[in-house]
A and B are shown apart, each in its own frame.
Chain A
Amino acid sequence: MTVFGIEDRLHFGVLIGLSAVILVLYILGIVLLPYLRWKKWRYSIDENEIDLKRGILVIQRTLIPLSRVQHVDTRQGPILRAYSLATVTISTAATTHEIPALDEYTADKVRNIISKYARLAEEDV
């Protein structure tokens, strides 16, 4: 039997096996991982801090005091726009954080709340 110039039965088996593994990983990568990543994303905002929790393999929790927020904005690429979604970007003097793909209404609300709290927090300091 000759498939793609490979005569040996064993080599053919290895080829098929590897392809199957890669295919499975690929499907996991585009189907399962984004789903899990989305499911694991949590954020909360109050007048003192922004709390972000995310990650599947490495779980990260970040606290950003609102008095450190320098600016906050919403961003929307063509794909996000097609689905009426937007990403909120929060910048401090040192780091930039994102809350990805919220629906437009929520994103605007989140942005406005953060900006309002940030202004209040700054007045306190």
Chain B
Amino acid sequence: MSEFKRQHPVAAISRVVDLIRGNLITIIIILVFGASGTGTPSFHWVFVALMVFLLVAGVAGWWRFVYRVEKGELQIKQGIMVRRNLYLTRDRVQVIDVTAGLVQRLFGLVKVEIKTAGSSSREASLSAITRREADYLTRLLRNNGELQPGMEDIAEKAEGQTQQEQRYALPGKDLLIAASTSGSFGIALSIIATIFSQIEPLLDESAVGDWLIQVLPSEADTFFIVTVILIFVVFAWLMSFFGTLIRYGDFTLTVKKDELVVRRGIFEKKRITVPFNRIQALRIVEGTMRQPLGYAMLHVESAGYGDHQDSGSVVVFPLIKKSRVNDFLEKVIPDYKFTVNSVKPPKRALTRYIIRSSAVLAIVLMFFYWLLGSPGWIWFFMIPGIFWGWLRHRDAAVSIQPEKMVLQSRVLARTTAVVRRNRAQDATKSASWIQKFRKLANLEVSVASGDQGRSFQVRELEEADAEELLPWITREYVKNEVVWDIVDRPLKEW
């Protein structure tokens, strides 16, 4: 294979799709402006021009993208105006992921991503080639007899008997629970709002609008408003339900000798490989709707390989009973099995948690208090804010084990992060002067994740505790040496 080749023409389409996705915000802004500025067609022309430009850019990008494999080295030339040459020797190749997006699947093609070691890995990706071509490529770039995806389907069957790997699938029932409790309302609501803002001017102009105005009560009474809100909520819930279903449908986690392989997605098949030695931290997220039912989602922070382009977060299991988490970790990533012996924020920190959680709410309520003519009942709405603060105080905790630190905190969902000492990048103790005066401090630990980092913070710890926990990052933890007077207070939940 010494000649430079182009990808399948479908690559041009998937390039355009990528470009549209990348410029989504610009497009939405133009659409919104175009819709609001009625009678000025120039905005629509801007939109059309943008689309044409993206189309041309996509096709040209495909035309200028050539690749070949020469003596175990992948060579890619790309770029429309500025030519970039990417040469990748096969010794540096660490993971080859073969996936198939919706566009690719329509044409029976695959996408090949070749990832190298190093946290800021430059990755080579071929967005649409035939499966045969992909198999051929992976065979050429195969590294030290390591199993490669193209061969894997055959190899996996053979290996199934030799007990080399375990496989965990998400049962259908659990998928339904995951979908119905995924609280990604915010995203869904914003999408609906965008759609609505598009439909609204149409309604005004069309006969449907006239009809609606006749049917609807002329005065917007409470019942009407509540109904509209309910419809919105139900619609948002449905969207997040199906979104999760599509995203995590057909989920399997395969545990191999030195890597985890996540496969998921109904329409767009995703395959994410996480080598064990790239895992930086474990994150257990209990969503607000999942926590009461005792369910949690497991994420892994990895350096280099993530769900998205620039994040290192990978969902290793979408839904698991919290009581089973430790058994699961034992089998999958035993390094991250943990116990909880918490250092918790002291009682006197509760007021600060409550103030922080309800301050904004209080200001909003004050405004309404003034607006509605000082009704006393309005202050009952403070209760959720105070309750939220109380929850955040209750759930904040740090546990320490010889090689691990467990940081638990809550924003809306309760997050438990397990960080190994040899993966923690730095630790920070911080205190504002009010905190200093009240002898409180925050503790924050950072780990690498994707190209940047991610940090986990627990607020309002006893200052002395924070001071003692901080050196954990560099020093060996010796159980009897340091006096952890509150260490053995067990946490009920775990």
Residue numbers of A with Cβ under 8 A of B are: 48-49, 55, 57-65, 68, 92-95, 97, 125
Identity of the chain B residue whose Cβ is nearest the Cβ of A68 in the assembled complex? B425
Identity of the chain A residue whose Cβ is nearest the Cβ of B447 in the assembled complex? A94
Task: Judge whether A60 and B473 touch: CB under 8 Å.
Answer: no
Task: Judge whether A49 and B449 touch: CB under 8 Å.
Answer: no
Instruction: Collect the chain A residues with CB atoms within 8 Å of residue B447's CB.
Output: 94
Q: Shortest beta-carbon distance, B207 to chain A, in Å?
A: 55
Task: Judge whether B426 and A64 touch: CB under 8 Å.
Answer: yes
Given known pairs A62-B428, A94-B449, the reply for A125 and B422 (CB within 8 Å) is: yes
- 3 A-B pairs with the lowest CB-CB distances in the bound complex, closest first: A94-B453, A93-B448, A94-B425
Whether B455 sits at the interface, judged by CB under 8 Å, is yes
The 8 Å CB contact of A63, one of B436, B455, B470, is B470
Instruction: Collect the chain A residues with CB atoms within 8 Å of residue B448's CB.
Output: 92-94
Instruction: Collect the chain B residues with CB atoms within 8 Å of residue A48's CB.
Output: 474-475
Q: When chains A and B are docked, how far (Å) is the Cα of A62 from the Cα of B433?
A: 17
Task: Judge whether B428 and A92 touch: CB under 8 Å.
Answer: no
Task: Judge whether A63 and B453 touch: CB under 8 Å.
Answer: no
Task: Judge whether A94 and B455 touch: CB under 8 Å.
Answer: yes
Q: When chains A and B are docked, how far (Å) is the Cα of A49 from the Cα of B421?
A: 14
Q: When chains A and B are docked, how far (Å) is the Cα of A60 from the Cα of B426?
A: 13
Instruction: Collect the chain B residues with CB atoms within 8 Å of residue A59's CB.
Output: 430-433, 436
Instruction: Collect the chain A residues with CB atoms within 8 Å of residue B119's CB.
Output: 93
Whether B7 sits at the interface, judged by CB under 8 Å, is no
Whether B427 sits at the interface, judged by CB under 8 Å, is yes
Q: Shortest beta-carbon distance, A67 to chain B, in Å?
A: 8
Identity of the chain A residue whose Cβ is nearest the Cβ of B433 in the assembled complex? A57
Residue numbers of B with Cβ under 8 A of A are: 119, 303, 422, 424-433, 436, 446-449, 452-455, 470-471, 473-475
Task: Judge whether A58 and B430 touch: CB under 8 Å.
Answer: yes
Identity of the chain B residue whose Cβ is nearest the Cβ of A56 in the assembled complex? B433
Task: Judge whether A61 and B430 touch: CB under 8 Å.
Answer: yes
Q: List 22 A-B contacts (CB under 8 A).
A: A48-B474, A55-B430, A58-B432, A59-B432, A59-B433, A60-B428, A60-B430, A62-B426, A62-B428, A62-B429, A63-B426, A64-B425, A65-B424, A65-B474, A68-B426, A92-B425, A92-B446, A94-B447, A94-B449, A94-B455, A95-B446, A125-B422
Q: Shortest beta-carbon distance, A49 to chain B, in Å?
A: 4
* Apart from A92-B425, A93-B448, A95-B426: 20 A-B pairs, beta carbons within 8 A: A55-B430, A58-B431, A58-B432, A59-B430, A60-B429, A61-B430, A61-B470, A62-B429, A65-B424, A92-B426, A92-B446, A92-B448, A92-B453, A94-B426, A94-B446, A94-B447, A94-B448, A94-B453, A94-B454, A95-B455
Q: Shortest beta-carbon distance, A32 to chain B, in Å?
A: 15
Task: Judge whether B430 and A95 touch: CB under 8 Å.
Answer: no
Identity of the chain A residue whose Cβ is nearest the Cβ of B421 in the assembled complex? A65
Instruction: Collect the chain A residues with CB atoms within 8 Å of residue B471's CB.
Output: 63
Instruction: Collect the chain A residues with CB atoms within 8 Å of residue B446's CB.
Output: 92, 94-95
Instruction: Collect the chain B residues with CB atoms within 8 Å of residue A125's CB.
Output: 422
Instruction: Collect the chain B residues with CB atoms within 8 Å of residue A65's CB.
Output: 424, 426, 473-474
Q: Shortest beta-carbon distance, B87 to chain A, in Å?
A: 24
Instruction: Collect the chain B residues with CB atoms within 8 Å of residue A64's CB.
Output: 425-426
Task: Judge whether B474 and A63 touch: CB under 8 Å.
Answer: yes
Instruction: Collect the chain B residues with CB atoms within 8 Å of residue A49's CB.
Output: 473-474
Identity of the chain A residue whose Cβ is nearest the Cβ of B304 in the assembled complex? A93
